[in-house]
Structure 1
């Protein structure tokens, strides 16, 4: 009777439509898994083509190339003697499905005799094509746009293989649908990403039907504080039902705003036995664990509520087969552990293969471990930095250009680039040859080996302080000091000549010269004079991104980094086509409050004392005249609300799905000790008015790293209009009616509000 099994799961940095690169990473993961003794290898969701293909899933080329990669995997000697579970799109009866394709290329024929290489075609076999049954179709995910969920639970059909696969396996058809694999020693069932998150996950019924190993292939993106939920779901799945659970995940930037954060794991009976890194520059990460199936069976035997069921006789077996009684469900005399609901059993695909072997009897088993979580500040320092690295190396540019203002947001962006440099140096020191090759390509020096993050930062990051007559000396000094401490190539310049030239053209044409409000101008004049400064900075930023390296005799051009946080984007507190217009924005999905905590974290982690003065300074755009040399304009005064309040509005609007009236009602309770109903009403109305007036700016928002579930990004995530009736007459009238009722109520009913 088989006991100990070694299984493998992995996190791969796949890239949409990079079929060659994806193939090599899959093969490398299988090779590592085999070298560690694994007999089963699980990969991420849609790993063959890359998850982020989006509308390329409509194209027949994507399907064709996916099958070509599958054929290459079947032909490779690397895939011999291990069950491989890979992800790809498959069309069945003219319907597209998100599938797992599970295959086995065995070096031993069914007869037990070793196969000589090249092997007989009979040794290569597609075991099962398992389509996804619950599709992710919220927030950043739109799987129903491209795929159809498989709705026939515990049912399979014949799938006719394409000729290129049929020639390799000599199979005309394979099972397609909701089934499980029954090996000689255990039973394996598949979940795909979203299915773990559904109220009634497949692993529940699979476990009740005798499945001992459940796998989940995911493409789950990073959101701050999300890892806790993912780990809880996996551990709870095995706590309630017993069994082994493998989770694979994609990692890295797949070509879009999302960063897939790895966190592959192996769990058993409510405990974690292997934890993958959440943020890493390694393209291939493989986790293995050696676990005892008897631990699963013993654990389940003690759950009496699970075991109370009618026992049904199965197919007749001989006395010699009783050894497998406690083994996989398909070979046992009784269908054990079926609850009184008497759900129909899963179709079983018999696999002439064992995950265990007699030589494993003396092998040590893996021990439980405690999951190590990153703090939110660590997540920010690592996730967006890895995302930046993928964007830089895959865009084949020579580095970044960042307008450095001396404020928290641009300082946080600079810290992320410095964190990226630290991770790159650490990866090179640990022997990562892929990272080293990428660095040498980026800096265009074949002999360069990065050792010091400051040196690397000086080669790939250019910072630029663009002063105007409204800029203070303090912000200039803060920007210069931070640039010196991280080692960036720093430029200081004045935009005043360009501003005067542009305004001179306007005055020449119109005969009018607008004035700042401080000099007697109207609000329209004041705003226009601020915006022209911001937009000229954008033009100069792109000019220097294209030509600053050329002026220094260095190869290549730079990616422009934006530094608008998610709260400012939510309110539209930015100038359209100013420095918020960039190539990518690593803080575009991070709140101001989290950014301040992150910058404080960087002060100690990276020994950057310049950040202390940046944190202590009030946030300001410095677009209006100084008062006696001091800043007279602050962001929160301009917005009419605090950044802390903006975070609350954003979560209630997007995550809790509240309109103006329901948000007002919610905040009445949340803020009852701080504000009167009238004050709460005014705050809610001010937010929704400004939000809707500026919503059009989201249509031009720079692609930003997605880290908050209340991001207002119009392009992928927040599918709301950008043209509103900004008066919100019906909604605001409901709020007013409620306020009047509360104001007429007895004072003591306001629960502590003076």
Structure 2
């Protein structure tokens, strides 16, 4: 029996880092060959990086991609293995997201993406066009740089199968798998036995299993070996590509890549008896009936085999037992945003992070996420202690600016990478200060304290003098009250950036720190933050996470890392502490809604596409045992009025790691106006009319 070998590759690529991307591609090919692979499949747009965005308009991006491909075509590592890489290609004046399949210095096929992704965080049709000519091939004229190394002037371009000596291969690119008319269906009916998919899929809490289930289902209903290759890391964007590259056979997962990892290169190689595919296909009689009627596919015939003789049977890969398990949501928060931060800091000139630590759930969660990052780094370094060329160790030494440094433990590394500061005022309580101090000591951050009261007093006094008015008070007008609160919040932002710039200097070192924001996704939707306050930062690891999930995470992290301090943090009522202590200010009272309610509003507003009236209608069912209809109407109106009045704040949100499905970040995920009719007269009137009918029993 013929045993075919094939590799799925996970890469942590970086937009426009052609040098680094080439290095990682070559490393993956070398590993695949070392594992006995005959075919290497890589992730989407791996040559240039997936997140180039408007740089895809530039001819430089395409030119440098061809230059990298030319290097790969002639590189000794790339010989004697079939290779599939991703890059942009312009064909007849139209730019396509493509796979380039080559063997021994010759391009066999350029396969463009058929279905583009334009939902959520993705805008692929802004830069690319989907190939609309199904089952069609035409000639693509190669640039001179490629012709010089391959002696090819044209190569096949379009939708085709690769017919090898022993099997037939079909191609999907990311969104084609999720599409209702997935390409793998027609391809497998037309004879493809292996489907390879180069993808760029991001993480969301509770979603990791979904892609794997899609892959299992595709291989089960069609009878095929499905090889899914995904990106890993932030790639310069607001999402974290979560890896989880997968190889599945006839409904069983053979290999599954790590969900979260510090590895820049991960290679999964499977050995499969091709008769397993053929025998399985033949048992699905309804499939064979459809296959007998299907229109034929164009074939690119290649003199190459994926198979080894039977004496290589020891390479045969069996299904995973037990079935794959994924991180629970709390662990996803501990890992995803942490690795997103690590990718950012290691690829920037920064020396670490600065965090205003208030002692509340949000800022404490950010602190623990950074500690989790350090914990994962130390775990990795201990596992790879014998590798002097380990990339993670190189990156750590680069960030701390010490070529011989090796961390003793996560706490010590956190002291090098994280500086925290409690920025108290006359309105701050001893309880919050104590919680901040205790957590900083537990994680080992470089901690200090600043009192902002005198600075705030100077701002207020000078402003009152300029306006020829008496000094404003908290007991005065609403404008006075808000101004006195906001000046404290904005003063903290100024101190945060000053500390971030001068922190290393204060220790006699060079460099600067990245300021971390601490506003969660629910507060962003409600607009419950001061514009340009200490939530304004360089990065926000929790900006895409709900308060509810953060509370669960911090409890989980407290148990995992042994931090008993988190119990007091979680139990304390959330408060901004911007008013005098005797006011007993709390966030939920200020907002006029609970965090649990906010999470529900967010999910209805974005992923379920509800306006005021439809949200009211949905909540009548969801909250029928909790609130009367008139109370639900009041709550919906209050939410939308607050949301509309504060929508302008969402245009300046700190770049955050996207983790929930209802983020309000308007640069990318939530494209909506920044100016609204705050009173929603028509919508609210419809709610009132419906409420009257309910009250009347109609």
The answer to whether TM tops 0.5 is yes
| Structure 1: gaps of 5 or more residues | 106-123, 310-336, 747-754
1:663 to 583, 599, 615: 615
Mapping 1:187-266, distance limit 5 Å = 187-266=168-247
- Asked if 1:494 is matched to 2:451, the reply is yes
Q: Deviations over 1:451-482 (max 9, x none)?
A: 31000101110000000000000000000000
TM-score w.r.t. length of structure 2: 0.98
SS of equivalent to 1:688: helix
Is 1:512–2:469 an aligned residue pair? yes
- Contact 2:3 2:313 (C-alpha < 8 Å) held by counterparts: no
SS in 2 for 1:234: helix
Q: Give the structure 2 partner of residue 422 of structure 1.
A: 375
Question: 2:151 matched to which residue of 1?
Answer: 170
Contact 1:468–1:496, Cα closer than 8 Å, also in 2: yes
- Note the alpha carbon deviations across 1:570-608, whole angstroms, 9 max, x for none: 110000000111000000000000000000001110111
CA–CA separation in structure 2 for the residues paired with 1:260 and 1:514? 52
2:364 paired with 1:407: no
Unaligned runs of 5+ in 2: none
**Distance in 1 between residues matched to 2:34 and 2:314, nearest whole Å:** 15
- Tell me, yes or no, if the aligned pair for 2:544 and 2:658 is still in contact at 8 Å: yes
Q: Which residues of 2 match residues 669-688 of structure 1 at below 5 A?
A: 669-688=621-640
Distance, in Å, in 2 between the alignment partners of 1:173 and 1:661 is 58
Alpha-carbon distance in structure 2 between the residues aligned to 1:514 and 1:12: 59
Q: Which residue of 2 aligns with 1:77?
A: 76
**Whole-angstrom distance in 2 between the partners of 1:589 and 1:678:** 31
- Per the TM alignment, residue 510 of structure 1 is displaced from its structure 2 partner at its CA by 2.0
1:98-155 deviations in Å (ceiling 9; x for gaps): 00000001xxxxxxxxxxxxxxxxxx21110000000001111001100010001100
State how far apart, in whole Å, the 2-side matches of 1:356 and 1:451 are.
Answer: 47
Deviation at 1:361, TM superposition (A): 4.6
Q: Answer whether contact 1:516 1:624 (CA < 8 A) is retained.
A: no
CA shift for structure 1 position 696 = 0.2
Runs (4+) of structure 1 moved beyond 3 Å? 359-362, 513-517
Residues 466-521 of structure 1: CA distance to partner in whole angstroms, max 9, x if unpaired?
Answer: 0000000000000000000000010112101101111110122123235444xx31
Mapping 1:531-680, distance limit 5 Å: 531-627=486-582, 632-680=584-632
What CA deviation, in whole Å up to 9, does each residue of 1:615-635 have, x standing for no partner? 1100000000011xxx60000
- Distance of 2:9 and 2:161 partners within structure 1: 21
1:461 aligns with one of 407, 412, 418? 418
Displacement, 1:359? 5.3
Q: 1:378 matched to which residue of 2?
A: 331
Secondary structure at the aligned position of 1:395 is classed as coil
**Does 2:405 correspond to 1:448?**
yes
**CA-to-aligned-CA distance 1:278-319 (integer Å, 9 cap, x gap):** 11111101111111111111111111111125xxxxxxxxxx
Question: Counterpart of 1:10 in 2: which secondary structure?
Answer: strand
User: What aligned pairs does 1:287-366 form with structure 2 within 5 A after superposition?
Assistant: 287-308=268-289, 337-338=291-292, 342-358=293-309, 360-366=311-317
Please tell me whether the aligned partners of residues 428 and 436 of structure 1 are also in contact (alpha carbons under 8 angstroms). yes
Aligned to 2:102: 103
CA distance in 2, matches of 1:164, 1:446: 39
Contact 1:400 1:561 in 2 (8 A): yes
Matching residue of 2:15: 16
**Are 2:389 and 1:390 equivalent residues in the alignment?**
no
In the other structure, the counterpart of 1:522 is 477
Instruction: Quickly say closer, same or farther: Cα 1:146–1:680, change in 2 above 3 A.
Output: same
1:714 aligns with 2:669: no
Alignment check: 8 A CA contact 2:3 2:310 kept: no
Q: How many angstroms does 1:225 deviate by?
A: 1.2
Q: Is the 8 A contact 1:514 1:521 kept in 2?
A: no
Q: Deviations over 1:313-366 (max 9, x none)?
A: xxxxxxxxxxxxxxxxxxxxxxxx33xxx3311101001000002254533411
In 2, are the aligned partners of 1:4 and 1:360 still within 8 Å (CA)? no
Distance (whole Å) between structure 1 residues aligned to residue 572 and residue 265 of structure 2? 43
- Deviation sequence 1:216-259 (CA, Å, 0-9, x none): 11110111111111111000001111110000011011111111
* Residues in 1 aligned to 2:610 and 2:469: alpha-carbon distance in whole angstroms: 45
d(CA) in 1 for partners of 2:651 and 2:396? 34
2:194/2:225 contact within 8 Å kept: yes
Q: Which has the larger radius of gyration?
A: 1
Pairing 1:87-126 to 2, within 5 Å after superposition: 87-105=86-104, 124-126=105-107
Structure 2 SS opposite 1:245: strand
What SS class does the counterpart of residue 581 from structure 2 fall into? coil
User: CA–CA distance in 2 between the matches of 1:243 and 1:362?
Assistant: 20
Does the 8 Å CA contact 1:140/1:717 hold for their aligned counterparts? yes
Mapped partners of 1:513, 1:125: distance in 2: 80
Alignment-derived partner of residue 112 in structure 1:
none
Which deviates the most, 504-513 or 640-649? 504-513
Q: Count residues with an aligned counterpart.
A: 692
Match of 1:363, SS? helix
Corresponding position of 1:115: none
- Following superposition, the deviation at residue 554 of structure 1 comes to 2.2
- Compare 560-569 and 352-361 and name the one that shifted more: 352-361
Contact 1:429 1:451 in 2 (8 A): no
Change in CA separation of 1:204 and 1:219 when aligned onto 2, cut-off 3 Å: same
Contact 2:464 2:472 in 1 (8 A): no
- SS of 2:107's equivalent in the other structure is strand
Deviation track 1:539-596 (CA, whole Å, cap 9, x = no partner) reads 0110000002211212211000001000000110000000111000000000000000
Q: Secondary structure at the match of 1:681?
A: helix
Which residue pairs with 1:471 in the alignment? 428
